[in-house]
Copies of this chain bind each other. A is one copy, B any other.
Amino acid sequence: MIMQELNVAILGASGYTGGELIRILVNHPNAKITYVTAEKHAGKKVSEVFPHLKGILDLKLEKLNPANLPEDIDVVFAALPHGTSAEVIQEINKRNIKIIDLGADFRLNEGNYSQWYGDHPCTDLLKVAVYGISELNRDQIAETSLIANPGCYPTSSILPLAPLLKENIVDESSIIIDSKSGVSGAGRSPSLDLHFCEVSEGFKAYKVAEHRHSPEIEQHLSEFSNKDVNIIFTPHLIPIDRGILSTIYVKTNKAYETSELIGKLKYYYKGCHFVRIYDEGKFPNISFIRGSNYCDIGIKSIPEKKSAVIVSVIDNLVKGAAGQAVQNMNIMLDLPETTGLNLNPLYP
């Protein structure tokens, strides 16, 4: 086997997602980061905005300008604000480059997008983009050159729910998703809400039943299951750095034993390295997947109420962002799906 070397660009490299892409890609055997951008920090070295990367990546950060993207770039990861992202990708997409967008610009169909974000700058590209939830969309991912990398909450919700909806186990109008996220999900820009003392020793719900990830979850669950999925979604903020735990309540179409539901999930995700289904009576903790690309899932049926409770966890920066992005890159480029993703959880 010839060792393929890919030149990789990261647009928006000074935020937490950018930093995580770097952490993963510098160890990827087929990738070489050769171009990084950051608006406010252009001119600085990566290790100035991320001192932990001193000696690991000392590349200079450039000002973002699609025209200046080097000729030899093979893959672009965009971790940019929404709106900006679509504009930039419109330019880059004219070239023969694999693009993975970690923002929200290509995740929703036109109707949903305009309702939650405003007019979309390039609706034709929207139709081309593939939603990159790796385990569920492998075939389309392998064939596209533009990935809409899923949001963190949607990843944690769609992975456990999609199989149960597809198999008609779950009532599509009954779904309640109570999600809890670490603070890095809110990005790296300072604000009073993210001040250490405002977060520490606290816990809150926010954007109750009005978060932008709701339509993303509904749209893609509907597409996967061919049903009109309708959810209630409440995100919360946990005073930790990383991780999402979603507790999902569903009505089932009949009374199931817990073991049956576990069996369904295990069967569906057989061979999927990054999805770990727990045995009966076990539920995952966010700390079991910190820093890794796993999605861990536990489930319990309440047959007397024809209901079930599902608990899923991911690291929002890995399976919820940079890790799944690299997984998608691997699929796009026909590399083994786990390449560069042997990121064992850091515990404790």
Contacts and interface: CB of A to CB of B under 8 A. Distances in A.
Interface string A30-71: 000000000000000000001111111000000000000000
A26 B348 contact: no
A191 interface: yes
Nearest to A244: B203
A48 to B, nearest CB: 10
Contacts of A348: 16, 184, 197-198, 200-201, 241-242
Contacts of A292: 52
A: contact size bracket:
35 or more
B286 A202 contact: yes
Given A236-B247, A238-B203, A23 B180 contact: no
A241 B195 CA distance: 11
Interface stretch (A96-104, A161-169, A301-309): A301-309
A129 interface: no
Interface stretch (A85-93, A143-151, A338-346): A338-346
Nearest to A287: B202
A196 B290 CA distance: 16
Contacts of A243: 201-203
A184 B347 CA distance: 10
Contact of A291 (B286, B287, B346): B346
A241 B201 contact: yes
A273 to B, nearest CB: 8
B300 A197 contact: no
A199 B202 contact: no
Nearest to A56: B344
A241 B196 CA distance: 8
B204 A284 contact: yes
Interface stretch (A1-9, A117-125, A152-160, A205-213): A205-213
A247 B249 CA distance: 13
Contact of A285 (B55, B202, B298, B346): B202
A247 B205 contact: yes
A348 B196 CA distance: 10
Given A188-B197, A232-B307, A283-B205, A247 B178 contact: yes
Contacts of A26: 344
28 contacts: A26-B344, A52-B292, A52-B345, A176-B249, A178-B249, A183-B200, A184-B197, A190-B190, A194-B195, A196-B198, A200-B240, A200-B241, A200-B348, A201-B290, A201-B348, A203-B243, A203-B286, A204-B283, A204-B284, A205-B298, A205-B311, A208-B311, A209-B309, A232-B249, A232-B307, A234-B309, A239-B239, A291-B291
Given A50-B347, A184-B348, A230-B305, 9 more contacts: A19-B347, A55-B273, A183-B196, A183-B200, A188-B192, A201-B348, A232-B305, A239-B239, A291-B346
